[in-house]
Amino acid sequence: MTREEVFATLNGVFQDVFDDESITVGEGTTADDIEDWDSLEHINLIAAVEQEFGIKFSMGQVVTMKNVGEMADIIMSQIKD
C-alpha cells in the first residue's frame, strides 16, 4: 500500500467516524482541525483505523501520536512488517 493509498483509506475512516463526508486529512491534520475530534472520539477513531488496516497501535502510540502524518507512519510501518 502506498502512502497516498493509506491517506485515501484514512479519509474514508475519518469521514465515517466523524460522520462528515467533507473531511479530508493530510500529513499535518490534528485534533484541532476537526471539530468533533476530542478525547472521546480519539479512541473510537483509533479502533476504527485498527479495524480498517488490520493493525494494532500500542498504548504509547495512542497517547503520543501528534497528527495524521504520524498515524500514517505507524500504519505504513506495521503494514510492511
Partner 1 sequence: MPATFTSFYFLCFYACILLIYYLIPAKTQWFFLLSASIGYYMLTGNGILILYPIAASAIAYGAIRIMAGTQDGKRRKRALCVSLVLLIGTLVVLKYINFGVHTVNGIASLCGAQGAVWKGFQFLVPLGISFYTFSILGYIVDVYNQIAAPQMNFLKLSLYGMYFPSVLSGPILRYREDGEQFFRPHPFDYRQVTFGLQRMVWGFFKILVISERMNLVVNTVYDNYTQYPGSYIWIATVCYAFQLYTNFSGSMDIVLGMSQTFGIHLPENFETPFFSRNISEYWRRWHITLGVWMKEYVFYPLLRTDAFQKLGKKLRGRFGKKKGKQLTTFLAMFLLWFAVGVWHGGDWKFVIGSGLLHWFYIVSGELADPFFKKMMERLSIDPKSRWLDAFRILRTFFLANIGFVFFRASSAPDAFRMLKAGVSVWNPEVLFNGSLFTLGLDVIEAVIAIVSLLILLTVSLLQQKGAVRERIEKKKLPIRFMIWYALLFYTILLGYYGPGYSAAEFIYQGF
Contact 64, 21 (CB under 8 A): no
Q: Contact between 38 and partner 1 (CB under 8 A)?
A: yes
Nearer to partner 1, 9 or 61 (CB): 61
Contacts of 44 (CB under 8 A, 6+ apart): 17
Q: Contact between 39 and partner 1 (CB under 8 A)?
A: yes
Give the x-and-dash track for 42-71 against partner 1 (CB under 8 A): -xx--x----------xxx-xxx-------
Contacts of 62 (CB under 8 A, 6+ apart): 42, 43, 46
Nearer to partner 1, 7 or 57 (CB): 57
